[in-house]
Structure 1
Amino acid sequence: MQDFSKFKKSLKMIEHYVYALCEIDDEKRTPFYIGKGVNDRCLKHLKEKGNSPKQEAIEELLARNRLGIDILRHGIKTDKTAKLIEATCIDLLGIGELSNKVRGSGSEMGRATIEEIHNLQSGELVEIQKEHQGLAFLLNSTYKSGMSEIELFEATRGVWRNVPRDESIKYAYATYGGLIKEVYQIHSWVNAGTQQYFTRSFENRNISQRWEFVGKKAPKDIRAMYVGKVIKKERSFGNPFIKVGN
């Protein structure tokens, strides 16, 4: 059974927050309850008793190791603001899709899993192993909370000026605020604009001297090692990418 107790210390450091209890199905996380609180409020549900749909779902998912807790917004200064964000989230998802009985009365990063919050607050860094060396792309100006998989991929694969393209660059790490959001396996590099983009447009930009990589998501075992962790890297000195795993 899952143990969430180790996250208590990190939760105390993020002020008011809004959270979602989720059902995990492979890589998909589907919210079934929205709440707000401070400290370890989101963990209190795990010890509550009753036969409500929410509690039944929690008990079932805990037993199957399929319960996830996502922090939708944190660093909120007042309970009043937290209430507004909670209500907005419930309205967005729809009360019929949630186990909330009634509608609810930010941090720049936006939605993050409880594991990511813990990793950010703990100060622990993950070092990229030599066999997984590649480039960490610092998406601090292009990353947006709630990006789709294709949006994140297209923001990571291009378009880059003076990017290292030697054979040792095997993987691309999409990062935001130091947090690894995804890992891609690089197959080759091509001139920017060679591939079709579905979520980006370069009509008013000269990308003739830039590059983009051809690739796909890294294997699941490699992604499990890094996604959601805070990456250990050297200073970038203003560059939007930096070599890791050297």
Structure 2
Amino acid sequence: MSHTKFSPSITKELGYYVYLYTDPRDGQTFYVGKGKGNRAFAHLDEDSEHEKVKIIHEIREAGLEPQIEVLVHGLEEEASLRVEAAVIDLLGKDKLTNKVGGYRSSSHGRMTLEQLRAIYEKEEVTVTDPAILIRISKLFRHNMSPAELYDATRHAWPVGDRANQIKYALAVYDGIVREVYEVSTWLEAGSTFLNKKPSGGRGVEKRKEFVGRVAAEEIRKKYLYKSVSNYFKKGQQFPFTYVGLAE
């Protein structure tokens, strides 16, 4: 039996499925995919700069082959997309070579109960402190680390002199506050250490980033997981807005 092709009788029964690529050298899964037919074998002959391809080459140079497993099969396409995304969330995208988090993972993926309640309850809050509300829509993931969330929120924005009045910065995704930071100061963008520079194409010219810390618990409880969507005008594209500052 070929190890790079399913027989017609198997493909007939498989339907859509979710598959895993595991490194036999350490037993670590390094890629999660979904497909039908012989999709699970497609990466073995892939010629690209993708990280999974590099790992496959390293495995073969060691005289081995990647272990391919079908995690679940007999699915409709929609279900396979959701299972793939759930597995990526569970294993952690930072531990895989997958470039994206999976189907609708930012809105329906792994999250805490507080995050889930925030999505569907959408309790509005009035911001009574001098603050900047920063939307991080392109960068946000529910399972991102505290350091990733901090860097995505603080770097890098075209703020003016009014930013010096700001006491708190609220990280906002989908209209919901995801974290609250107490701002110490604003500096030239790129002048401070970033755990991992956020992707998304933000330049740093004429932009600033703040340095601060997670706000006191009483402030976090006041705003965290509450809706501030009413502070952004319908159709507003600009990623941040000031609240409670002197004119």
> What TM-score results when the alignment is normalised by the length of structure 1?
0.53
Q: Which structure is larger by alpha-carbon Rg, 1 or 2?
A: 2
Q: 1:244 to 1:78 in 2, by over 3 A?
A: farther
Mapped to 1, the partners of 2:89 and 2:149 lie a distance apart of: 25
After the TM superposition, which of the residue ranges 173-182 and 235-244 deviates more from structure 2?
235-244
Secondary structure of the structure 1 residue equivalent to 2:242: strand
Mapped to 2, the partners of 1:123 and 1:84 lie a distance apart of: 27
Aligned to 2:134: 137
Mapped to 1, the partners of 2:187 and 2:216 lie a distance apart of: 22
Contact persistence 1:116–1:229 (CA under 8 A)? no
Contact persistence 1:127–1:245 (CA under 8 A)? no
After the TM superposition, which of the residue ranges 115-124 and 218-227 deviates more from structure 2?
115-124
Question: For structure 1, which runs of at least 5 residues remain unmatched after alignment?
Answer: 1-76, 94-105
What number of residue pairs does the alignment pair up?
Answer: 155
Report how far residue 140 of structure 1 moved: 0.6
Which of 145, 148, 155 matches 1:148? Answer: 145
Mapped to 1, the partners of 2:77 and 2:222 lie a distance apart of: 36
The alignment status of 1:187 with 2:189, answered yes or no, reads no
| Residues 27-57 of structure 1: CA deviation (Å, up to 9, x unaligned) | xxxxxxxxxxxxxxxxxxxxxxxxxxxxxxx
Question: For structure 2, which runs of at least 5 residues remain unmatched after alignment?
Answer: 1-75, 93-103
Secondary structure of the structure 2 residue equivalent to 1:108: helix
Aligned to 1:234: 232
Aligned to 2:243: 244
- What is the percentage of aligned positions where both structures have the same residue? 30
| Residues 196-233 of structure 1: CA deviation (Å, up to 9, x unaligned) | 1120179x975231111111111111111111222241
Mapped to 2, the partners of 1:230 and 1:219 lie a distance apart of: 19
The alignment status of 1:168 with 2:165, answered yes or no, reads yes
Secondary structure of the structure 2 residue equivalent to 1:159: coil
Aligned to 2:154: 157
Contact persistence 1:165–1:189 (CA under 8 A)? no
Aligned to 2:218: 221
Aligned to 1:117: 116
Aligned to 2:10: none
Give the ranges of 4+ consecutive aligned residues of structure 1 lying more than 4 Å apart after TM superposition: 77-83
Mapped to 2, the partners of 1:240 and 1:143 lie a distance apart of: 13
Aligned to 2:106: 108
The structure with more strand, counted as a fraction of residues: 1
Contact persistence 1:186–1:214 (CA under 8 A)? yes
Q: Which amino acid aligns with 1:233?
A: Y
Mapped to 1, the partners of 2:223 and 2:127 lie a distance apart of: 8
> What TM-score results when the alignment is normalised by the length of structure 2?
0.53
Secondary structure of the structure 1 residue equivalent to 2:144: coil
Q: Which amino acid aligns with 2:135?
A: L
Q: 1:218 to 1:143 in 2, by over 3 A?
A: same
